[in-house]
Structure 1
Amino acid sequence: MSSEIAERLGLAVWVKDLKAARSLGRMGNIHYMSKRLKYVFMYIDGHKADQMIQRIERLHYVSHVDRSLRREWTTEFNRSSP
């Protein structure tokens, strides 16, 4: 048994109906639901991300899906003071 941490991808899913958006929990882990802005932030398996995003976009209550850009940001900072 190896205790690997699964690669996760964060998604912002913009929805038309929050009550129907609860069913997104079957496709991944819901982290946050905004009632005012009508979006759901969730995590999905990174290995199956493209397939899962296509499935989510086809749902009738979904406006659009944005991927998290956290992996593309540089997290190494250099000290620039002399």
Structure 2
Amino acid sequence: MAFDMQARQSLVVYTYSLKQTRQLKRYGTVMYVSKKMRYVVLYVNQEDVASLTDQLGKLRFVKRVVASARPDISETFNGVAEEMTSNPDPEAEDDDE
């Protein structure tokens, strides 16, 4: 029996009230609930993000749904230090004048 890793992505669900937070458990895994700012971080399968965003947006107690941009961001930092040293900051040149 092989373990296959499922691609997951987080959705931030902003709500009007946190009373219905338990209802969000049927859509994915609730990882964090902010009581002060009234949002819920929900982890779902990556292939279901588009459909779940539409479904969650139609719920009465949901203000908006924001998908995480983490899958789109490159996490490799090879050569970043060389780019920073070879390309000096253009704003630093203005300070010399």
Q: TM-score, normalised by structure 2?
A: 0.77
Name the residue aligned to 1:68: 68
1:21–1:61 contact (8 Å) kept in structure 2: no
Flag structure 1 segments of 5+ consecutive residues without an equivalent: none
Question: 1:76: how far off?
Answer: 1.1
Matched pairs, number = 82
Determine which structure has the larger strand proportion and give its number.
1
Compute the RMSD of aligned alpha carbons: 1.5
1:13 aligns with 2:16: no
Instruction: Give the helix-richer structure, 1 or 2.
Output: 2
Determine which structure has greater relative contact order: mean sequence separation of CA pairs < 8 Å that are 6+ residues apart, divided by chain length. Answer: 1
Task: Tell me the amino acid that sits aligned with residue 52 of structure 2.
Answer: M
Larger radius of gyration: 2
Q: Give the percent of matched residue pairs that are identical in Structure 1 and Structure 2.
A: 27
Q: After the TM superposition, which residues 23-34 of structure 1 pair with which residues of structure 2 at under 5 Å, given as runs?
A: 23-34=23-34
Deviates more, 1:19-28 or 1:62-71: 19-28
Unpaired stretches in structure 2, ≥5 consecutive residues: 87-97
Partner of 2:12, secondary structure, is: strand
